[in-house]
Amino acid sequence: MTQYENPWTIPNLLSMTRIALAPVLGYLIIEEDFNVALGVFALAGLTDLLDGFIARNWANQKSALGSALDPLADKILISVLYISLTCADLIPVSLTYMIISRDIVLIAAVFYVRYRTLPSPRTLARYFNPCYATARLKPTFISKVNTAVQLILVAASLAAPVFNYVDSIYLQILWCFTAFTTTASAYSYYHYGRKTVQVIKGK
């Protein structure tokens, strides 16, 4: 059974806005327009704060799609930012490789969960129809911490060429801490597995 729901909630639209801002940020970073990039990044961060606040405080704005779309938007944004910042020589290749690898595995897991929880007939139309909710995802605590740390590093790296601290030891310490939380987050999903997925029973 599946639960039919309206996907066009304000939090979901904000998440889609964040996804749309990702290539804009990537272009600005590649072009080394860091001042504007900082402003656009702040706007993307605001959409992240707002969609979570609205979903928590208005029951009719909370959706199963949102439970997957919000972290997916974060992963797309973070992936584009880290690749762009690596191209701009502001974040090491090894750290970006670690983060992208983890996110690819998690995104593949989301698609697998969608397939496993979608009842027959499993058609492409039903699979990609956001109105049919089959599962709600619950991120682990360390995963939430990791996302925050990754975004802090992005903000610090974007500001580095603007405020002239590209070679700061504090940035390098933040690289190491980000690598640690990324590894811990990946392990938490491996360890807790099914506990992070709540299958929705149709009415």
Coil, strand or helix at 77: helix
Mean pLDDT of 170-194: 90
Partner residues linked to 198 by β-bridges: 136
Give residue 168's region: left, alpha or beta (phi > 0; psi -120 to 50): beta
- Judging by beta carbons within 10 Å of its beta carbon (0-12, 13-18, 19+), is residue 161 exposed, middle or buried? middle
Whether 93 has a pLDDT exceeding 50, the answer reads yes
Considering only CA atoms, which of 47, 91, 90 is closest in space to residue 69?
Answer: 47
Range ranked top by mean pLDDT from 6-20, 97-111, 161-175: 161-175
Give the lowest-confidence range in 48-62, 123-137, 167-181: 123-137
Q: What is the Cα–Cα distance from 125 to 141, expressed in whole angstroms? A: 33
Domain ranges of the chain: 10-199
Q: Note whether 65 and 12 are within 8 A (CB).
A: yes
Q: What is the Cα–Cα distance from 117 to 134, expressed in whole angstroms? A: 6
Partner residues linked to 136 by β-bridges: 198
pLDDT at position 1 is: 47
CATH topology of domain 10-199: Four Helix Bundle (Hemerythrin (Met), subunit A) (1.20.120)
Mean pLDDT of 178-193: 88
